[in-house]
Homo-oligomer: A and B are copies of this chain.
Amino acid sequence: MDIKDYMQNLGRRARTASRQMAKADTNAKNRALLAIAAAIRRDEAKLLAANGEDLAAARAAGLEPAMVDRLTLSPKTVATMAEGLEQIASLPDPIGEMTDLRFRPSGIQVGHMRVPLGVIGIIYEARPNVTVDAAGLCIKSGNASILRGGSEAIRCNQALATLVKEGLQSAGLPADAVQVVETTDRAAVGELITMREFVDVIVPRGGKGLIARLLAESRVPMIQHLDGNCHVYLDDSADAAKAMAVVENSKTQRYGTCNTAESLLVARSVAATLLPPIAAMLTAKGVEIRGCAETRALVPNAKEATEADWGEEYLAPIIAVKVVAGLDEAIEHINKYSSSHTEAIVTENHTHAMRFLREVDSASVMVNASTRFADGFEYGLGAEIGISTDKIHARGPVGLEGLTSQKWVVLGNGQVRG
C-alpha cells in the first residue's frame, strides 16, 4: 500500500463528506448517533470477539498490563459506548447558531454563526471507546473525522467503523464522515498531520511521546493535551475542613488522572496547623510525601523534595509539598512549574481568591474546590474530546463547542462601503 496515496484519498473523501456534514440537519445527525448506538448493542458479541483477537495479539506481543487493561472491552464497556452516543444525541446542536447580530452605522447587520471546523484528525492510543466517543462528537458537531487509534486495537476499531458507517448511511449522511485508518503503518500518522489541504485540526489523545512527535512534525493546528501537574494552595485564611477535603479529593480520589493534584503549597502562617493532619491523612492512604525543608520539619516521615519534584506529574500516590510565604510566592511557583492544566486555592479571603483566579495562568483555576472537577462532564459540557493545555482556540475541557468555529455573518440590503 502506498501510504501517502491511501491517506490523501482518505483526506479527499473526508473533505467532501465535511461539506455534507456541515449542512446536515440536527435530526439526521441524531438519527445517525442513535443508529450507531443500537448497532453497538446489537453487535456486542462481534465486538467482544474482535476485541478478544486484539487482546490475544497484544498479550502475545508482550503489551504492558496497563495498556492491555485500557484495550479490554466488556459487556459493560460496550453498553457505556452506546450510552455515550445516546447522551451526545441528547445534547443541543451547536451548529448554525447565530449570535450577536447587531446593526452597524453603515446599515449592515453583523454577527456570528457557529460552524464545524471541517475535517478533524484524531490520534489516540489503543482504546476502542475513544473511537466511538470521537466519532460521536465529530458527527454531532458537523465535522468529518479521520480516526487513527493505536494499532493494538485495529480489529475492534474496524468492527466499530463498520457500525458507524452503517449508522451514518441509515440517516442519509455520508459514510465517509467517519473514516478509521486501516493501516497500522506509523507513516500514516506522518501523512495525517501534514495534509493541511484536507485536515483542519489534529486532536492527539495520547502520551507525551506522541505529543512530542506531533509538536515537532505537525503542519496542521492541534488541540493538544500535555501533562497535568496540578496544584492545591492552602492560603493564610484557608478553612481547615475545606483544606483537608480539597487536598484529600484532589490527590487521592484517583491517582492516574490528569486533574489529580501533584503538588501542595501551604502558606507559612498556617503550615504548622494544617500540614500535620493533612500529612497524616495522606500517609494513612499510602501517599508518599516529598517536602521542602520546612515541610520535613513539620512532617517527619516526608522525604526530601528535589527541584525535579516541583515539575513532576507523578500519576501515582506521591505528592510534592512546599511551604511558601503566601499568595505571591504561590502564584509565582505555580506559573513557573505548572503545566497550566488546573490549580486550586483554599481560602476564605475574597481578594486572594480573585487574585488567584486572575493571575494563575492555567486552563482551570478554582477556589475551594477539588482539582478533580476539571472535566467536561463536571463542567456541564455533556461530553469531552480531551482537555486542552493550549491557549489558542480551546482551553481546558473540550466539548462539542471546541470542535466548532465561528464565521462572520453580514446581512445587508444592498449596502456598499463609503
Judging by beta carbons under 8 Å apart, are B366 and A417 in contact?
no
How close is A102's CB to chain B, nearest CB, in angstroms?
Answer: 7
Complex CA gap A317/B402 in Å reads 40
Nearest B residue to A417, CB-CB: B372
Does chain B have a CB within 8 A of A329? Answer: no
How close is A311's CB to chain B, nearest CB, in angstroms?
Answer: 13
- Select which of B113, B365, B415 is within 8 A of A409 by beta carbon: B365
Nearest B residue to A104, CB-CB: B380
- Select which of B19, B346, B359, B412 is within 8 A of A361 by beta carbon: B19
A117-B391, A367-B412, A369-B412 known; A110+B417 contact, CB < 8 A: no
Stretch at the interface among A149-157, A239-247, A301-309: A239-247
Nearest B residue to A411, CB-CB: B367
Judging by beta carbons under 8 Å apart, are B242 and A413 in contact?
yes
Does chain B have a CB within 8 A of A364? Answer: yes
Judging by beta carbons under 8 Å apart, are B396 and A393 in contact?
no
Does chain B have a CB within 8 A of A213? Answer: no
Residue among A219, A346, A410, A415 with max Cβ neighbours from chain B (10 Å): A410
Interface residues of A in 238-276 (CB under 8 A from B): 239, 241-242, 245-246, 248-250, 253
Does chain B have a CB within 8 A of A337? Answer: no
Judging by beta carbons under 8 Å apart, are B22 and A113 in contact?
no
Does chain B have a CB within 8 A of A351? Answer: no
How close is A171's CB to chain B, nearest CB, in angstroms?
Answer: 19
Does chain B have a CB within 8 A of A362? Answer: yes
- Select which of B117, B242, B355, B397 is within 8 A of A408 by beta carbon: B397
Judging by beta carbons under 8 Å apart, are B407 and A363 in contact?
yes
* Chain B residues whose CB sits within 8 angstroms of the CB of A242 once the complex forms: 413-414
Give the size range of A's interface with the partner: 35 or more
Judging by beta carbons under 8 Å apart, are A22 and B359 in contact?
yes
Interface residues of A in 336-381 (CB under 8 A from B): 344, 346, 355, 357-359, 361-370, 372-374, 378-380
Does chain B have a CB within 8 A of A8? Answer: no
Complex CA gap A395/B395 in Å reads 17
Judging by beta carbons under 8 Å apart, are A369 and B410 in contact?
yes
A405-B391, A409-B357 known; A110+B380 contact, CB < 8 A: yes
Does chain B have a CB within 8 A of A4? Answer: no
Judging by beta carbons under 8 Å apart, are B239 and A414 in contact?
yes
Complex CA gap A108/B245 in Å reads 14
Judging by beta carbons under 8 Å apart, are B414 and A241 in contact?
yes
Complex CA gap A410/B416 in Å reads 46
A370-B417, A405-B392 known; A410+B365 contact, CB < 8 A: yes
* Chain B residues whose CB sits within 8 angstroms of the CB of A406 once the complex forms: 395
Interface residues of A in 45-104 (CB under 8 A from B): 96, 102, 104
Nearest B residue to A196, CB-CB: B215
* Chain B residues whose CB sits within 8 angstroms of the CB of A390 once the complex forms: 221
How close is A254's CB to chain B, nearest CB, in angstroms?
Answer: 9
* Chain B residues whose CB sits within 8 angstroms of the CB of A395 once the complex forms: 405-408
Judging by beta carbons under 8 Å apart, are B359 and A23 in contact?
yes
* Chain B residues whose CB sits within 8 angstroms of the CB of A366 once the complex forms: 108, 409-412
Judging by beta carbons under 8 Å apart, are B113 and A415 in contact?
no
* Chain B residues whose CB sits within 8 angstroms of the CB of A357 once the complex forms: 113, 409
Q: How does the 8 Å CB contact mask read for A201-233 relative to B, with 1 for contact and 0 for none?
A: 100000000000001100101000000000000
A361-B19, A380-B104, A414-B241 known; A396+B372 contact, CB < 8 A: no
Which A residues are closer than 8 A to B by beta carbons?
A: 19, 22-23, 96, 102, 104, 106, 108, 110, 113, 115, 117-118, 196, 200-201, 215-216, 219, 221, 239, 241-242, 245-246, 248-250, 253, 335, 344, 346, 355, 357-359, 361-370, 372-374, 378-380, 390-393, 395-397, 405-417
- 11 further A-B pairs in the complex, CB-CB below 8 A; given A23-B355, A370-B417: A19-B359, A104-B378, A106-B378, A110-B378, A110-B379, A245-B416, A365-B410, A368-B412, A368-B415, A372-B416, A393-B393
